[in-house]
Amino acid sequence: MNGTARTARAEPRTSLGEHLRTALGLTGTHLGCEQGDCGACAVLLDGEPVCSCLVLAVQADGCRVETVESLARGDDLGPAQRALLEEHGLQCGFCTPGLLMRMTHARRTGAPASDVLGGHLCRCTGYGGLRAAVERHCAVEARKEDQP
Amino acid sequence: MKPVAFDHVAPVDLAAALDLLAERGTRAAPLAGGQSLVPLLNLRRVRPDVVVDLNHVVGLAGVRVTAGEVRIGAMTRLRVLESHPDVVAALPVLATAASAVAHPHVRTRATLGGSLCHANPAAELPAAAVALDARLVLRHRGGARVVPAAEFFTGPHTTVLAPGELLTEVVVPRVPELRFGFAELARPGGSGYPLVVALLGVAVEGGVVVAARAAAGGVAPTPVRLPGVEAALPGRRCTADDLSAGLATAPVDHAAGHRDAVLRSLLRRITAGLE
Amino acid sequence: MTTRVHIGLPVPPRNHPALLRGRGRFVDDLPFPGARHVAVLRSPVAHGRVTAFDATAARADPRCLLVLGPADVAELTDPIPLAWLLPDQRLDHVELAVDVVRYAGQPIGLVVATDRAAAEDVAELVDVRVEPLPAVASTAAALAPGAPRLHAEAEGNVVGRTHFGTPRDRLDEAFAEAHLVVEREFGIQRVSHSPLEPRGLVAEWEPGPGLLTVHASTQSPHAVRQELAAVLRLRADRVRVVARDVGGSFGGKVALHADEALVCLAAVVLGGQVKWVEDRVENLTAAYQGRGQRTRARLAVAADGRFLALHADVVGDLGAFAVQAGSGPLQVTALTIEGPYRFPAAGGTVTAVCTNLVPVGAYRGYGMQESTFIRERLVDEAARELGVDPVALRLRNMVEPGDMPYTTCTGLVYDSGDYSAALRSAARRVAPPSSAGPVRRGSAVTATVEMSGFAPSALIRQFDIAWAGWEGVRLVVNHDGTVTVHAGVTAVGQGIETSLAQIAADGLGVPLRWVDVRLGDTATAPHSDLASQASRALVLAGGALLRAAARLRARVLGLAARALDVPEADVVLDVPADVEPGSPEAVFRGASGVISWRELAHRAWRGWHRPEGVERIRLEENVDFDPPAITFAHGAHGAAVAVDVDTGVVTVEDYWTVHDNGVLVNPLVAEGQVVGGVAQGIGLALFEEVRHDPDTAEPLSTTFREYPLPAARDVPRVDVRHLCTPSPANPGGFKGLGEGGAIPPAATIACAVAAAVPEIAEVLTATPMTPERVWAALREAGIEGSPQWTER
């Protein structure tokens, strides 16, 4: 769980998203529809983006899970967070955590910006700043920053 | 909403999974990628006593290519299917159809078998299975049967699967002579669900179509082949104009109306790419 | 005079870093591990009589902590009073105790259990019997002869009527004489606000002191507090409502809903904490919705293109009952029907009708989206019928700056603005598109005027609305030199906290980060009924804050003068941009020396340096701002669309906006509001629609699959420009901008579709313009799509 082994019990019917929020106290991941339609709950499961509302918590037993809480390094925001902050890519911020995980995954894997926005609903921004942030974040030039 | 309480069992071998499904019958829900089942669980529209999680069953995922066919495990994720080199090489239209399903974070989990068994009449992969004459291997405790895709779907979200039966493999004949195209119109707005999907393949000799295959989703209670279209194209030159003219003569095989108009628009769009 | 340093700068909202780290504090994120969880029992049918409520089996479940049914609710609560009625409206409350249900999803009772899933399990054990009655699924059905009657207080299912503007007989005369009359029937569908965070609350009852504390996702904590006190028969000072982060609202979180009141009742009955977070299905089927009207409207034009008269006969769907401001949006449609044009005669008639659908409340644009759609479509149709340029026709009739203040026929007084300049600016940038193959392209521009900064107390009284229209702030310089703004308006994602900080910083002349803004807690926030709605937060709280800052700055300078023993005029506040409030470099300078900002603040709180005979010590200013008038923002939008005549798909390819929102405090926030509003407008224009079964009135839009929100692919890049005519109606020159983006898109897109396919222009009078409906209109008009294809 964000780089640390965590143990917590879950009922079989509990979704991964709800389990993160309740048993593990990681409330950054938000449940917007519990139908896989809005993307707010996206997390990385073994490095791949999933809707945490559509994965049972028990299915994540033994898996690596990464959430929004893993993205900043101390006081410094991560690159996806910086891009959204600087491009005004959020307003209420409820949908943002899922999008951040998709952006993070896209930059790791080289996926294009156009791949990222699909499946994420934002009711506030009209996608203006959000689109600019994702494009900037996924640009080839930006990715070079990630090279050690 | 939260699901009803259920047990979760995750067998590692197929026999154990089939035993469980046989014993629990309609009270068991097989869980593949979960992208169709879990939404229904979350709405309490599906209320199982036990969820049989297939994600750890050995041998249900993967792609094998032989001279005549491509055999795809039912638990193969769409993320794998859309980019699998053997699928892209042997059945490029299947990879394209898989890549059109929902969004990347859904395809990470979603499986070919799950999509077929969910049997959304407008969905991409059921229509592709029908277009490609896929054969579906259905296993139950102590036996198996093979059902052609065209006979598998019986209505919206219904199939011939009996309680205790599991789709384990999808066998797709290779038809290298047919060159396919795929197109879909998604419903407007963010849901991204398809309204109509269309597949059209043509075999061409000397610039002239000698055989055609066409199928659609979203125009009938199940995905359907389009025999009128398949009969109208042979003899046409393989140009967008001539194929379109051929399409124009094709009788329509289902109810007319908006979806039919969309389908014809999609088929025309495909013919432009087949030129 | 305030020096603008931070006002006008694109400052990123100050809560964004925390939100980006996953440290938001939305209701469901608040750490209440001991809270018990609610499942609301809802009516399965749209109309029926509750004949039995048996919780025996539910109560036997060990996880069940409480079940409340209609009898308990009747005994323990009073109804929610309404605030804004039509003149003849007799329905004046929202029932909590229900014996007749009037919409599918209406709360009947609730279950409290150990967790949410358990509560839903237990809820299934409650035996609720509802004997169905015939249901009414539309205003047409409600008004039909012999329709089932929903309320004893609403004869013929009409809740109330009113008329604004030129009397109807004079309107009829004006139409009778006109060269051209364009008349159409318009339909604006029901929509769902669908904030990504649904409603939700955690209510805590402390039986000892008898205190109810409610953490809620609301736009209006003070209004909720008063309503809760009334409903639960508590003293107002025993109820505290706190709104932390709110995940979008758009008008959907302005009023206490019955289910929210029941959750608070459960807390009072049980003691301790009780939590309910609405799920998406509930949000789409039980939370109040927006819009929903059918309007017959006509425009009279002289041969030379002068507008002679405009009349809209608005039939509005209130749903199952009138909510707190029930008919408000319908009244605003009538009041704002004239928009930016001059009319010798104009008026709006309102008929508010009840149906067995979800009640309708405020939604971003509040009646003005509807009036703009009706008016701008009529104007475009008039231009088409006259064969004149639609932009020229608009300019011919516009209210000009020299006409200000301009009083409309319905009695609105426009304060300022250059409407023609906005329209010209938009029209210049809209490029005429070209058509190709089965895709036809077209573009259009429209104009609108937006009521904002609602409202002067006198106007509120004139309409007999039971709310306060004014807005208050408390500005404090703390003993450590930090600055705190307390305001009654609320942060709902729109960025008001940041704009207020910018205003306070400039008003006091201190760095931005010295200022903290505290909103949303009725224990500390100045009173506010309307809070963040009606595009008023910045206009009114900002106006109050400028005054508070000017007064506090004068007091501080006076204290500094006495501390330094120099004349006030000789004191200079010298604060380097990047220092902290406790820095020795942040000083007041006088000829005799310096005193630091922090030291002065500390002494002030000790009561030192105040003038002889002055009792006031606290270094804070309370200012109530009751605006002299509503202030009117305005704008023009342009759209370029592509219409695929084969499929009926409409794609918005380009979008341009020009708004005059007076003085902009934060252009980043302003642009975000406009673009976000445009996206909602596109959704309404093209596909968003709450649908119900036409016979049973039961909901068909229960998930985002059936109620799709606009996704990135549906919204083009939006070009945003601003003009600036400072408002004369408030100290900052501000005009509201929360709704302006959402108001014109449906009108603009429909006009652009009409330009692309004039053959169907006459029937482009209803939204949403879905592919199926546009396709049907095209076929009806004889447009057959691609020529290569023949019909069977």
At C63-78, the pLDDT tens digits run 999 999 999 999 999 9
Chains adjacent to C (≥3 CB pairs closer than 8 angstroms): A, B
CB contact under 8 A, B106 and A35: no
Structure tokens at B14: 């197929």
Pairing state between β B178-186 and B194-205: antiparallel
Going by pLDDT thresholds of 50, 70 and 90, the confidence category of residue C348 is very high
Which residues of chain C make contact with A67, given a CB cutoff of 8 A? Answer: 22
Distances (CA, A) of C18 to A28, A81, A105, C584: 10, 10, 21, 30
Q: Check if the interface score ipTM surpasses 0.95.
A: yes
pTM of the model: 0.97
User: What is the mean predicted confidence (pLDDT) over B26-36?
Assistant: 97
The predicted pLDDT at position C689 comes to 98
Domain end point (choices C608, C625, C642): C625
The predicted pLDDT at position A147 comes to 65
The predicted pLDDT at position C584 comes to 97
Residues C559 and C517 in one domain: yes
Choose the weakest-confidence range: A61-65, A112-116, B85-89, C424-428.
A112-116
User: What is the mean predicted confidence (pLDDT) over C464-483?
Assistant: 97
Alpha carbon of C25: minimum distance to chain A alpha carbons (Å): 9
Alpha carbon of B74: minimum distance to chain C alpha carbons (Å): 26
**Residue C299: partners with Cβ closer than 8 Å, 6 or more residues away:** C181, C182, C183, C307, C309, C310, C375, C378, C379, C381, C382
- For C224-339, where are the E strands, in sequence order? 239-242, 272-277, 290-301, 307-319
- Quick check: C727 pLDDT over 50? yes
User: What is the mean predicted confidence (pLDDT) over C532-545?
Assistant: 96
**Residue C293: partners with Cβ closer than 8 Å, 6 or more residues away:** C139, C186, C187, C188, C314, C315, C316, C317, C330, C333, C370
Q: Residue C672: closest CA among chain A residues belongs to which residue?
A: A125
Residues C504 and C491 in one domain: yes
The predicted pLDDT at position C791 comes to 35
The predicted pLDDT at position C432 comes to 79
Q: Residue B5: closest CA among chain A residues belongs to which residue?
A: A13
Going by pLDDT thresholds of 50, 70 and 90, the confidence category of residue B252 is confident
Q: Which of B8, B105, B108 to mutate to test the interface with A (most CBs of A within 10 A)?
A: B105
Residues C755 and C665 in one domain: yes
Is residue C348 one of the residues assigned to a domain? no
User: What is the mean predicted confidence (pLDDT) over C395-400?
Assistant: 98
CB contact under 8 A, C714 and B261: no
Domain end point (choices C606, C625, C644): C625
Q: Which domain holds residue C576?
A: 16-22+470-625
User: What is the mean predicted confidence (pLDDT) over C229-241?
Assistant: 98
CATH topology of domain A16-141: Ubiquitin-like (UB roll) (3.10.20)
Residue C314 neighbours by CB distance under 10 Å: 28
Q: Does the beta carbon of A8 lie under 8 angstroms from any beta carbon of chain C?
A: no
Chains adjacent to B (≥3 CB pairs closer than 8 angstroms): A, C
Residues C714 and C748 in one domain: yes
Residues C95 and C51 in one domain: yes
Q: Are A49 and B107 in contact (CB under 8 A)?
A: no
C225: helix, coil or strand? helix
Q: Which of C14, C15, C16 to mutate to test the interface with A (most CBs of A within 10 A)?
A: C16
Tell me how far apart the alpha carbons of residues C124 and C126 are, in angstroms, rounded to a whole number: 6
- CATH number of the structural domain spanning residue C569: 3.30.365.10
User: What is the mean predicted confidence (pLDDT) over C398-412?
Assistant: 98
CB contact under 8 A, A72 and C247: no
The predicted pLDDT at position C582 comes to 96
Q: How much of chain A, in percent, has pLDDT values that exceed 70?
A: 99
Is residue C775 one of the residues assigned to a domain? yes
Domain end point (choices C285, C304, C330): C285
CB contact under 8 A, B5 and C121: yes
User: Using alpha carbons only, what angle is made at residue C321 by residues C315 and C323, rounded to the nearest 5 degrees?
Assistant: 95
User: What is the mean predicted confidence (pLDDT) over B241-250?
Assistant: 90
Which residues of chain A make contact with B190, given a CB cutoff of 8 A? Answer: 37, 121
Closest listed residue to residue C644, CA positions, set C507, C482, C766, C772? C772
Residues C496 and C615 in one domain: yes
Q: Residue C686: closest CA among chain B residues belongs to which residue?
A: B188
Residues C562 and C676 in one domain: no
C180: helix, coil or strand? strand
Choose the weakest-confidence range: B153-167, B234-248, C7-21.
B234-248
Q: Are A38 and A95 in contact (CB under 8 A)?
A: yes
Closest listed residue to residue C197, CA positions, set A118, A91, A84, A66? A91
Q: Are B63 and B19 in contact (CB under 8 A)?
A: no
Q: Which of A2, A14, A33, A120 to mutate to test the interface with C (most CBs of C within 10 A)?
A: A33
Q: Are C360 and C290 in contact (CB under 8 A)?
A: yes
Q: pLDDT tens-digit profile of B102-135? A: 999 999 999 999 999 999 999 999 999 999 999 9
Is residue C788 one of the residues assigned to a domain? no
Residue C399 neighbours by CB distance under 10 Å: 22
Choose the weakest-confidence range: B61-65, B249-253, C255-259, C352-356.
B249-253
Q: Between B181 and A142, name the one with better pLDDT.
A: B181
The predicted pLDDT at position B43 comes to 98
Tell me how far apart the alpha carbons of residues C64 and A116 are, in angstroms, rounded to a whole number: 43
Residues C281 and C394 in one domain: no
CB contact under 8 A, C671 and A128: yes
Alpha carbon of C199: minimum distance to chain B alpha carbons (Å): 14
Q: Residue B37: closest CA among chain A residues belongs to which residue?
A: A54
- Quick check: C721 pLDDT over 90? yes
C28: helix, coil or strand? helix
- Quick check: C792 pLDDT over 90? no
CB contact under 8 A, C29 and A27: yes
State the total domains in chain C: 3
> Which phi and psi angles does B242 have, rounded to 5°?
-70, -35
The predicted pLDDT at position C787 comes to 55
Q: Does the beta carbon of A51 lie under 8 angstroms from any beta carbon of chain C?
A: no
Cross-chain CB nearest to C705 (options A35, A40, A130): A35
Alpha carbon of B55: minimum distance to chain C alpha carbons (Å): 25
Residues C687 and C722 in one domain: yes
Which residues of chain B make contact with A14, given a CB cutoff of 8 A? Answer: 2
CB contact under 8 A, A119 and B102: yes
Is residue C735 one of the residues assigned to a domain? yes
Going by pLDDT thresholds of 50, 70 and 90, the confidence category of residue A148 is low
Which residues of chain B make contact with A49, given a CB cutoff of 8 A? Answer: 104-105, 108
CB contact under 8 A, C704 and B268: no
The predicted pLDDT at position C790 comes to 37
Residues C234 and C123 in one domain: yes
- Quick check: C438 pLDDT over 50? yes
SS3 for chain B is CCCCCCEEECCCCHHHHHHHHHHHHHHEEEECCCCCHHHHHHCCCCCCCEEEEHHHCCCCCCEEECCCEEEEECCCEHHHHHHCHHHHHHCHHHHHHHHCCCCHHHHCCCEHHHHHHHCCCCCHHHHHHHHCCCEEEEEECCEEEEEEHHHHEEECCEECCCCCCEEEEEEEECCCCEEEEEEEEECCCCCCCEEEEEEEEEEEECCEEEEEEEEEECCCCCCEECHHHHHHCCCCECCHHHHHHHHHHCCCCCCCCHHHHHHHHHHHHHHHHHC
Closest listed residue to residue C67, CA positions, set C35, C41, C103? C41
Q: pLDDT tens-digit profile of C156-187? A: 999 999 999 999 999 999 999 899 999 999 99
- Quick check: B256 pLDDT over 90? no
Residue B249 neighbours by CB distance under 10 Å: 14
- Quick check: C788 pLDDT over 50? no
Q: Which of A84, A94, A122 to mutate to test the interface with C (most CBs of C within 10 A)?
A: A94
User: What is the mean predicted confidence (pLDDT) over A126-131?
Assistant: 96
Which residues are bridge partners to C596 per DSSP?
C587
Tell me the residues of B at the A interface, defined by beta carbons under 8 Å apart.
1-8, 10, 31, 34-35, 38-39, 41-43, 51, 53, 55, 79, 102-106, 108-109, 190-192
Is residue C494 one of the residues assigned to a domain? yes
- Quick check: C38 pLDDT over 90? yes
User: What is the mean predicted confidence (pLDDT) over C668-692?
Assistant: 98
Helix axes C597-606, C542-564, angle to 10 degrees: 90
Residues C594 and C512 in one domain: yes
User: What is the mean predicted confidence (pLDDT) over C391-411?
Assistant: 98
CB contact under 8 A, C704 and A117: no
Structure tokens at C61: 């479940």
Residues C616 and C680 in one domain: no
Domain ranges of chain A: 16-141
